[in-house]
Structure 1
């Protein structure tokens, strides 16, 4: 049986504060007017575009519990404002390194709270994915660097995905004793076929930006040196299109499989709930954190 002490040591090691790295690939997006204040996000609106920027660059934009909650709220606000399109991107060198595993294993340390904490987290995660499924406007991912885990699997719920040529896409769920999330068990086979989806989701094959485009995960890829300029030029042109037409067109396209996505999300959360209670998952996560702490 996995020792609680070993689990706590892993959390302590990997949670040691680190200085924020100086990025050579800082996100250059319109500053805009701030729609709301968040601790882990930058939310702004300019030129009919609402931008949600993941803002934990010192942690490679890993999604903490707070960030999950704030993304839900940011999507709610963006869905109701007067902008035409909504963009999600990351600050610093990474788009997003996926779920912050230190938050996950911390819930395991206090055994008396684990069931309640896991139930609350999974309920929030279910709502998190629902916010993407039900988002009413065109939602575009601007992948400014490597993407890992749920940051990748969620891309199947975006309407368009643009990536820099230095981006990579990695879904190491089974290595961590976990299960793919974000409706990817449905969207990935639908986009790239069962064999390619299995190679990525089951066996953790990392894709380059060019490979992701070939397999339908990414819409277009741009050279890193011109990525921001080219993408934002295109986005500003999209933001001049008629708002109601875009919204109604998206709703019609999504209506054919919206119920299916909700059912998939519910089922994935059920499977994740079972796996997170397993010793296999806990051992895999701790092993990963311990190896990471030695780097």
Structure 2
């Protein structure tokens, strides 16, 4: 009897052990399937990333770099780069900041970000304002009735000016100059931002040994860019439809009229980013608004409302959001009907009085900026900006 009971118990125990082993094997097999699935999706995500047309921005790129390293290598295992290697340091901080996040979770987060970026570029999310305009991929150009209208067209980046846009704006101004049907040119921004200034992505992905070359190239581009405003022979009108920052503010002193919506703001945070004034603002702003008020903007990063910009002479007229488009188009149409030779010769008289001075100021400002861009102070300030963003 006892032997029979022992036998039944042994058989039950064996069956239970066999069942447990089968469960364990199924769990292991299921885990392998999950890992294989993640690996396949991860590989697909890497491929889909290369198909993106829009730059996702430096903050997102840093996040993706960190997740990719965490997914493929694991926890950060390399020494922290030196202070002057601000790109390497930003990458290290992003990777190290993931701590003990598992490789599996890092893969999933990486895949999710890529899917979101791809979805944003899908046809369903595209609008006509993001479409390129012929040869000007960063601009929208409308040339009719004597008005050459330039629209900065990077709304997802708040119309920040990258190297390509710098070159294309110069090309557009040259085209407007040479087209005899163009009486006056205007500039505005797509979306609800006029322009967020120089795209700080221009400073990204630069190794320490390449910083002098980057600074020199940036200085040359900026000098040519500002010179194109100084020498533009036809009236140029700014239509400030939203916040304006940095170089998009400083060049306003080279426009012939500036109209702003009442919600616009004007900000030149140069010293906050370890940089210095440009766009001939070191010369024009004190003449427009007096030294003390100019210094508030150029040295102490004071942000102005549209009303304050009007009071200081930087803006010609301010309109409500409801009337802005109608009012500025009325003024442009009136300008487009003026006798062109009289208009252009009048501008030449005004500009010639200070043209040589403006070019000299532009050259000096760019010299200082080239030095600033190579300084540790500027590198640290830009690094903090990226981290804050």
Give the structure-1-normalised TM-score: 0.89
Give SS of 1:275's match: helix
1:251 to 348, 362, 365: 348
Q: Does 1:94 align with 2:177?
A: no
The residue aligned with 1:275 is 372
The 1:281–1:222 alpha-carbon spacing in structure 2 relative to 1, beyond 3 Å, is same
The residue aligned with 1:85 is 184
The residue aligned with 2:161 is 63
- RMSD, matched Cα: 2.1
The residue aligned with 1:30 is none
- What is the count of residue pairs matched by the alignment? 276
**What runs of 5+ residues in structure 2 fail to find an aligned partner?**
1-82, 96-113, 122-127
User: In 2, distance between residues paired with 1:125 and 1:11?
Assistant: 31
Contact 1:7 1:105 in 2 (8 A): no
The residue aligned with 1:199 is 296
The residue aligned with 1:230 is 327
Q: Does 1:6 align with 2:89?
A: yes
**What runs of 5+ residues in structure 1 fail to find an aligned partner?**
21-25, 28-33
The residue aligned with 1:112 is 209
- Structure having the higher helix fraction is 2
Give the 5 Å matches for 1:110-259: 110-259=207-356
User: In 2, distance between residues paired with 1:115 and 1:182?
Assistant: 21
- Shift of residue 186, structure 1, vs aligned partner: 0.3
Give SS of 1:45's match: strand
The 1:68–1:122 alpha-carbon spacing in structure 2 relative to 1, beyond 3 Å, is same
Structure 1 segments, 4+ long, off by >4 Å, are 8-12, 16-20
Contact 2:306 2:315 in 1 (8 A): yes
Specify the structure having the higher radius of gyration (Cα). Answer: 2
- Shift of residue 8, structure 1, vs aligned partner: 4.3
User: In 2, distance between residues paired with 1:97 and 1:217?
Assistant: 17
Contact 1:167 1:209 in 2 (8 A): yes
The residue aligned with 2:13 is none
User: In 2, distance between residues paired with 1:202 and 1:103?
Assistant: 23
- Shift of residue 9, structure 1, vs aligned partner: 6.1
Contact 2:85 2:208 in 1 (8 A): no
Q: Deviations over 1:78-104 (max 9, x none)?
A: 111121100011000000000100112
Q: Deviations over 1:226-267 (max 9, x none)?
A: 100111011101110000000000001100000000000000
Give SS of 1:140's match: strand
User: In 1, distance between residues paired with 2:93 and 2:310?
Assistant: 37
- Shift of residue 64, structure 1, vs aligned partner: 0.5
